[in-house]
Amino acid sequence: MNEHVKPVYLEEKLEEIRADGHQEYRSKSLPTWCPGCGYFSMAEGLTFALKRLGIEYKDVVTVSGIGCASRFPFFVNTYGFHTLHGRVLPVATGIKIGNEDLTVVAVGGDGDAFAIGGGHIPHAARRNVNLTYLVFDNGIYGLTKGQASPTSAVGFKTSSTPYENGDVPLNPLMMLLSYGASWVGQAYAGHQHHLADMITEAMAHRGFSFLRVLSPCVTFDKTNNTYANLNMAARGLPEDHDSSDLMAAMAEAAQADHPALGVYYKEDRPTLDEVMAATNRRAAGTDPA
């Protein structure tokens, strides 16, 4: 593990959780992802986070769209909603507005998030919907047999780009920072303990938290986002990084060839449900402007 990637929680607490177990947050369904897929680390990370935060599984809703990430709700013991392609955030927003006491976790891959679902992200971010969005980015369409995705690297040969991909990839971190997300972080499936820490921090944040998880596709990507390459490329954010400095976060996010792991940016501002409650009070004449 990169020495600059600092665990958020004490190792003693991790050992306590491991000893106590967190299997009550795992469903009886066995994951069907390819052996070695980073999604296994993410499922473990979410269950660790729920255990650490003391959230009962009956109070959690996991929402997914289409793609490899769509299976996620089946493998965790929470309420789940397997929705349409690219429509994770509208459904997750509706659930949160319907019952603000629920903990809502939206999950998706780079295709579901940044292709068909890309138009929903800026609005969930700017409205500061109080939910967590976990995007598992492997830079390829894994479920449909290995086509180029919105985050595929230039020069990547896939079944849809046999003569190399010529499209410049999107930069998810830059996008979310510019959209106004109130918490933006990045983790890596190969650093499981740090990933669990990051999921915990994202879920503990009040507001729209976005965590990009770099996740190798061991079946369809043998050259780019592999464990070997990401182990060498991934780094920690600088020790003096100020997560309240948006420009500093943007500068780090721009270094896409050397992805940094950690919390890029966070701020405290009113959430969508708080704004709606204030609007309702004003409309009722109980909270005049």
Q: What is the pLDDT along the chain (289 residues), one digit of tens a residue?
A: 344 444 444 444 445 544 455 567 887 777 888 999 988 899 999 999 999 999 998 999 999 999 988 888 888 989 999 999 889 999 999 999 999 999 999 999 999 999 989 999 999 999 999 999 999 999 999 888 889 999 999 998 998 999 999 999 999 999 999 999 999 999 999 999 999 999 999 999 999 999 999 999 999 999 988 999 999 999 999 999 999 999 999 999 999 889 999 999 999 999 999 998 898 888 988 876 5
Q: How distant, in Å, are the alpha carbons of 67, 127, 230, 233, 271 from that of 275?
A: 33, 9, 40, 41, 6
Confidence at residue 3, expressed as pLDDT on a 0 to 100 scale: 40
Domains in the chain with CATH codes: 11-284 (3.40.50.970)
Buried b (16+ CB within 10 A) or exposed e, 209-239: bbbbbbbbbbbbbeebbeeeebeeebbbbee
Q: Which residues pair with 108 in a beta bridge?
A: 135
Confidence at residue 266, expressed as pLDDT on a 0 to 100 scale: 98
Task: Give the number of other CB atoms < 10 A from CB of residue 13.
Answer: 12
Q: How distant, in Å, are the alpha carbons of 44, 113, 147, 166, 251 from that of 40?
A: 6, 20, 22, 31, 31
Confidence at residue 200, expressed as pLDDT on a 0 to 100 scale: 97
H-type alpha helices, the chain: 11-20, 39-53, 88-98, 110-111, 121-126, 172-179, 192-204, 227-233, 246-253, 272-284
Confidence at residue 2, expressed as pLDDT on a 0 to 100 scale: 41
Whole-angstrom Cα distance, residue 257 to residue 48? 30
Confidence at residue 30, expressed as pLDDT on a 0 to 100 scale: 79
